[in-house]
């Protein structure tokens, strides 16, 4: 299967601190085909960003450590690459958009130069005029007039800054774009503009995308496949239709119940009680058992496997054990 661009196998990442070992990510398995968009949905502290940084090998060590697993990018195991090879990959093949456009730009460098920096890093033979021209084209592509090349980040609004960040990420036509909450800091109308723009650029360059978000609506409108992550574990994984139309995992059910729906006039939200467990003291069994209305003694004692149903829809819950066999 050569069209698989990214294949994450059993990736586990920990942070060892004075307060104990945080199991940030546990046995994550995900696949992403060329040109496809995968939505990774979860709440604060679920391990979304850790997963993204793991793919980029940007886990700060110490305290972070990739304890096991492999990440195949285009057939090559990223974990085996030298730091030099990795640097060639970052920004050129795999690019990342960080959450906060306000802090991910350098305040003392013009936005144009920040885009050009990526271009000359990966194409050192370009002349200054050529690289500047390319950077200007990128600005235009994200809808900012090239005449603003010499402006500084503080002269832009939040939505424009995020577009500059996107221009930086896409400057070298990467094959894979990791977008970590790219629109969370933006207003809904600007969010729509930015997402539409990312989508347009993706289609144009056939870029695959890992979209990290907590917004189920954003995923529904932008992704092909979805993974739901809870307390460091992928609990449900399938196509958009599978996950949205046939919710299996109780946590996914809770997430959907927590979002006020526009089309119905519900008077009360079906909230999930309690909170995510402390990542330094995760329960032995299912991580969600404590908050789950279906939990049994077995759930608290034993960690469920990722069961795969006939249609390929995967879920980490004992309730589907029989169905999967």
**What dihedral do alpha carbons 37, 254, 288, 185 form, nearest 10°?**
50
Nearer residue to other proteins within complex by CB, 263 or 297: 263
43 binds other proteins (CB under 8 A): yes
Nearer to other proteins, 265 or 325 (CB): 265
111-122 and 158-170 helices cross at what angle (nearest 10)? 10
Q: Is 187 in the site for other proteins (CB under 8 A)?
A: yes
Q: Is 189 in the site for other proteins (CB under 8 A)?
A: yes
- Rg of the chain over Cα atoms, rounded to whole angstroms, equals 21
Cβ contact 184:104 at 8 Å: no
Region binding other proteins by CB under 8 A among candidate stretches 50-58, 68-76, 170-178, 271-279: 271-279
201 binds other proteins (CB under 8 A): no
Among residues 134 and 242, whose Cβ is nearest to other proteins?
242
- DSSP letter at 90? B
Unique residue bearing structure tokens 């968009």:
37
Residue 272 binds to other proteins (criterion: CB under 8 A): yes
Ranges of H-type helices in the chain? 48-55, 83-89, 111-122, 128-141, 158-170, 188-205, 216-222, 240-245, 250-258, 297-301, 321-324
Q: Is residue 99 within the footprint of other proteins (CB under 8 A)?
A: no
Rounded Cα–Cα distance for residues 70 and 10 (Å)? 7
Q: Which of residues 156-185 bind other proteins (CB under 8 A)?
A: 157-160
Binding mask of the shown chain, residues 228 to 267, with x at each position contacting other proteins by CB under 8 A = ------------xx--xx--------xxxxxxxxxx-xxx
Of 192, 295, 303, 309, the one binding other proteins (CB under 8 A) is: 192
Q: What x-and-dash track marks residues 17-36 binding other proteins by CB under 8 A? A: --------------------
φ/ψ of 13, rounded to 5, equals -130, 135
* 270 near other proteins (CB under 8 A): yes
Proportion of the chain in helix, strand, coil states, percent, rounded to 5: 35, 25, 40
Q: Which lies closer to other proteins via its Cβ, residue 46 or residue 119?
A: 46
Task: Provide, rounded to whole angstroms, the least separation between the CB of residue 315 and other proteins.
Answer: 18
Distance CA 23, CA 127 (A): 47
Using CB under 8 A, list all residues that contact other proteins. Answer: 43-44, 157-160, 187-193, 195-196, 214-222, 240-241, 244-245, 254-263, 265-273, 275
């Amino acid at each position: 299967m050569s069209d698989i661009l990214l294949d994450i196998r059993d990736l586990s990442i920990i942070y060892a601190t004075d307060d104990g070992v945080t199991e940030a990510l546990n046995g994550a398995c995900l696949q992403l085909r060329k040109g496809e968009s995968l939505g990774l949905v979860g709440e604060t502290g679920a391990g979304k960003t850790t997963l993204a940084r793991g793919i980029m090998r940007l886990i700060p060590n110490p305290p972070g450590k990739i304890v096991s697993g492999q990440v195949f990018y285009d057939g090559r195991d990223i974990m085996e690459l030298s730091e030099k090879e990795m640097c060639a990959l970052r920004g050129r093949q795999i690019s990342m958009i960080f959450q906060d456009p306000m802090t991910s730009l350098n305040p003392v460098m013009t936005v144009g130069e920040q885009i050009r920096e990526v271009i000359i890093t990966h194409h050192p033979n370009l002349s200054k005029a050529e690289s500047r021209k390319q950077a200007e084209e990128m600005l235009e592509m994200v809808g900012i007039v090239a005449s603003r090349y010499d402006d500084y980040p503080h002269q832009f609004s939040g939505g424009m800054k995020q577009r500059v960040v996107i221009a930086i990420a896409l400057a070298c036509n990467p094959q894979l774009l990791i977008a970590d909450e790219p629109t969370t800091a933006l207003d809904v109308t600007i969010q729509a503009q930015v997402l539409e723009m990312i989508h347009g650029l993706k289609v144009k360059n056939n870029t695959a995308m890992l979209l990290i978000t907590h917004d189920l609506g954003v995923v529904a409108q932008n992704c092909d496949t979805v993974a739901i992550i809870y307390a460091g574990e992928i609990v449900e994984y399938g196509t958009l239709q599978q996950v949205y139309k046939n919710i299996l995992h109780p946590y996914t059910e809770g997430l959907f119940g927590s979002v006020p729906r526009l089309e119905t006039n519900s008077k009360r939200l079906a909230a999930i009680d309690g909170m995510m467990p402390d990542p330094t003291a995760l329960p032995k069994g299912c991580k969600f058992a404590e908050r789950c209305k279906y939990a049994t003694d077995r759930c608290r004692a034993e960690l469920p496997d990722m069961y795969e149903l006939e249609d390929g829809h995967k879920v980490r819950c004992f309730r589907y054990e029989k169905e999967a066999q």
